Amino acid sequence: MQHHLRISQCFFNTRPVENAGHLGYPAGMSNTAKTKALAPIARRFRGFLPVVVDVETAGFNSKRDALLEVAAVLLDMDGDGYMSRRETVSVHIEPFEGANLDPKALAFTGIDPWHPFRFAKPEKEALSLIFQPIRRQIRETGCSRAILVGHNPSFDLAFIKAAVERCGIKRNPFHLFSTFDTATLAGLVYGQTVLARAVQAAGFEWDSEQAHSAVYDAEKTADLFCAVVNRWREVSGEPWPATGQDPAPAPEPDESDENEEASP
């Protein structure tokens, strides 16, 4: 496998987001008016912004083993409730001081943590690169918080949370325990729980040579999640938000988010 030689970069999409803007509302604005002002994606998942994440690591222990790659795929939703990929941000990460590097895990992923062409970043800088566009989209859409989407996402969330704690980051943009699991969703819709088989069952190609890189797995997981959401939209015929649904309005801007985005 050659993916460990590939250089991951952060790609920032400058395409305007529907209903983009700050989260401040005029004084006296009713909750109903606030709800109508939210972007479609903010009204679809009770105010949570789905962000697809995949991590590559040097083992299974989030406290002890190194976090080596993170990829996050941001999603869009149009006015009819259909989802698509918006942008991918990714970064290679230097093992934190004292991190365990399990040779079996490295052989499985094909990652050489010390390869010079990885252009790896220190953990705190890497998380900042991942979190900045997520926080930006939360503000633009009027969502209240990100929710991690992954294939067996408890693994990915555990490593993100452990890295946030190590780096002393004050606020994790992700919900701390709730997730969307594409293994469960694909099992329901397609009868498949293995990522490769689920992606193919949803009508997408799967390249085993590219698998186990954070970017490839995250983007394929994003395609799968969007396919499930879009299929439900077609089957149900229900516009979103559903009739009578009244999601809570997004909170006012959080100064700590602005400060963390500005800091390295």
Per-residue pLDDT at 38: 81
pLDDT at 93 over 50: yes
With cut-offs at 50, 70 and 90, classify the pLDDT of residue 203: very high
Query: Token pair for residue 183?
Result: 């293994």
With cut-offs at 50, 70 and 90, classify the pLDDT of residue 198: very high
Cα torsion angle, 186, 88, 45, 135, sign: positive
Helix %, strand %, coil % for the chain, to 5? 40, 20, 40
For all residues of the chain together, what is the average pLDDT? 84
Residues acting as catalytic residues: 212
Collapsed DSSP state (helix, strand, coil) of residue 89: strand
With cut-offs at 50, 70 and 90, classify the pLDDT of residue 240: low
Better-scored residue on pLDDT, 126 or 5:
126
DSSP conformational letter for 240: S
Give the tens place of pLDDT for each residue, 3-40.
433 333 433 322 333 333 333 444 454 444 444 468 99
pTM of the model: 0.82
H or E segment to which residue 200 belongs: helix 195-201
Q: Nearest Cα to 163, choosing from 207, 131, 200, 208?
A: 131
Query: Token pair for residue 55?
Result: 């991590």
pLDDT at 113 over 70: yes
Per-residue pLDDT at 142: 95
H or E segment to which residue 231 belongs: helix 214-236
For range 231-253, the mean pLDDT: 65
Question: Which neighbouring-strand residues pair with 10?
Answer: 89
Cα torsion angle, 15, 17, 18, 23, sign: negative
Query: Token pair for residue 85?
Result: 């990929």
Q: Which domains does the chain have, with CATH numbers?
A: 3-12+30-262 (3.30.420.10)
Per-residue pLDDT at 65: 98
CA dihedral 169, 175, 179, 180 (to 10 degrees): -110
